[in-house]
Amino acid sequence: MTHSLKHIALIAALLLTAGSAVAQERATLLTGAELTRVVPTGFYFQGLSAPTQMRNAAAARFGKDRYVISGLVDTSGYSADVRAKYVGFLITDAPITLNGESLQPGAYGFGFANEGKLTVMDLSGKDLMSVSISNDKDLRRPRPLMMTADAGGVRLYNGKNYVVIAAQ
């Protein structure tokens, strides 16, 4: 019995610890100097480095020191076919999910060439994943790119459309 109770306590403690860890993964949106410190001023993708539109960049910290950073870039230097599929970057230093689909740590390009989808590409422009986008029709002041808090992590918005980014 005592052994069993110890077992229960141990399992409960383990689960609570896991819960606590997840709780610690709650996202903090970065602003001001914290934001500019982590957002790169330019991003390499498919043969070119393009400047970041700093006004259209956002970042969140998960837990103590895990970051997800995203920004639109000035794609004027790209050919029309690249511009059609690539608008910005997504950088994560921890495994995350985009609307529930896993994405490993790394630096990626993204775009919206497929209607209703956000497509994540590797730095060579190869499609890696495509996730459906939700629409927040009640969003009063949409922006080209922004992050807001969400129960499951953060919402990454493009206009009124968004995906939910969560720490894995």
Give the DSSP letter of residue 126. Answer: -
Binding footprint of other proteins on the chain (CB under 8 A)? 1, 4, 7-8, 11-12, 15-16, 18-19, 22, 55, 74-81, 83, 99-100, 112, 115-117, 131-135, 137, 139, 141-144, 152, 157-161, 163-164
The minimum distance between CB 18 and other proteins, in angstroms, equals: 8
Nearer to other proteins, 37 or 137 (CB): 137
Of residues 16 and 149, the one with the C-beta less far from other proteins: 16
CA contacts within 13 A on the Cβ side of 152: 12
Cβ at position 50, least distance to other proteins in Å: 9
CA–CA separation, 68 and 147 (whole Å): 10
The CA-atom distances, in angstroms, between 104 and each of 51, 92, 132 are 24, 8, 18
Give the type of residue at 15.
L
